[in-house]
Amino acid sequence: MAVPLHRAAAFGLHWLSDLPLTPFEPAPPGAGDVTILRTDHLADRPSPRPLNNGQIHPDGFRLHWGQEAVFDMFDGARITYLPGPEWTGAFPSSLFGTVAALTLAWRGALPFHACAVELDGEAFLIAGPSGSGKSGLTAGLIGVGARFVCDDLSVLQAGAGLTISPGRSTMRLDPALVGSIDAVDRAPAPGDARGKWLVRPRARTALGEMPVAGLLLLASAGRPIQPLERPAVLTSEVFRPRWLAAFPNHRERLARILEHGRGLPIARFPSIGEATVTDPSQRARDALTALAGMRRP
């Protein structure tokens, strides 16, 4: 088995791997929380419970990612990958999305299908259905002074309150938006069927962890979301919900969402399909005003 030479940080953990972890931030030498190594055969794992494109075991899960690779996660601390017939030589994006999210959830974290930005030390989630404009609005908010925290996948920890750590350091954007953001680097996303680009914003948060102050829900106009409704809204934005519902810590995770979700301000904001404001800069400023309205006094 190869030696993990690559170190990176994301979602509050240190990841070690025998291949580059490009979407994560490079990390200095030190102990890792999760080690990712290639294997030449699939382990014989007990009591498989089939689910979607994989299975759940008492000590973790197995995920088949097309013909590219099979990932095995053990105890939230170790991932092995077996390259398949369509292996490209680099990790598929699923490692930094689904596999990472499920590994974090196994460890007790709360993954959400949401973007996040930081304003003055506090994070705000931007959630909504696929195609509602989460990433575009996040890019717009960065353009008016917010700092990038996460794109598409935000992983929260529930302690004394809800907190978040930066996730992948890149955003997946429509080509039309790529030029609108000050970026360290930008390139077409390998294998993206929608033609999206990967962009690493220059304005990324410098904080390792920060409190979550609110959630902007990209949705149709409607009455304000009441505190009683907050946990249900938050639950509806959970990342890979079928997988998480089958995990042994599902009950504890729901209890945390209930406990902490009731105090999290949530405001509606027009999705891109329903927006009457078409100027992206004005839309970003309007979103900034909505975020400011959620801030605790």
Partner 1 sequence: MNETLWRRSDEWIGATVEDALVMISVERGTYLHLNPTAAVAWDILESPVSAARITEHLSSRFAVTPEHCAQSVATMLRRFEECGLIVAS
* Contact residues for partner 1, defined by CB under 8 A: 227-228, 230-232, 235, 241, 245, 250-251, 254-255, 257-259, 262
Spatial contact of 46 and 38, defined as CB atoms under 8 Å apart: no
Shortest CB 291 distance to partner 1, Å: 23
Q: Exposed (0-12), middle (13-18) or buried (19+): which is 253, by Cβ within 10 Å?
A: buried
Distance CA 18, CA 184 (A): 25
Closer residue to partner 1 (CB): 190 or 227: 227
Shortest CB 105 distance to partner 1, Å: 15
Closer residue to partner 1 (CB): 179 or 227: 227
Closer residue to partner 1 (CB): 254 or 272: 254
Pairing verdict, β 122-127 and 69-74 = unpaired
Shortest CB 257 distance to partner 1, Å: 8
Closer residue to partner 1 (CB): 38 or 250: 250
Spatial contact of 254 and 235, defined as CB atoms under 8 Å apart: yes
Spatial contact of 113 and 142, defined as CB atoms under 8 Å apart: no
Distance CA 161, CA 179 (A): 36
Question: Which amino acid is it at 88?
Answer: T
Shortest CB 112 distance to partner 1, Å: 15
Question: Which amino acid is it at 202?
Answer: R
Shortest CB 261 distance to partner 1, Å: 8
Closer residue to partner 1 (CB): 194 or 242: 242
Spatial contact of 22 and 36, defined as CB atoms under 8 Å apart: no
Shortest CB 236 distance to partner 1, Å: 9
Closer residue to partner 1 (CB): 207 or 254: 254
Q: Exposed (0-12), middle (13-18) or buried (19+): which is 176, by Cβ within 10 Å?
A: exposed
Shortest CB 231 distance to partner 1, Å: 5
User: What tokens does 26 get?
Assistant: 């490079």
| DSSP states along 145-161 | T-EEEESS-EEEEESSS
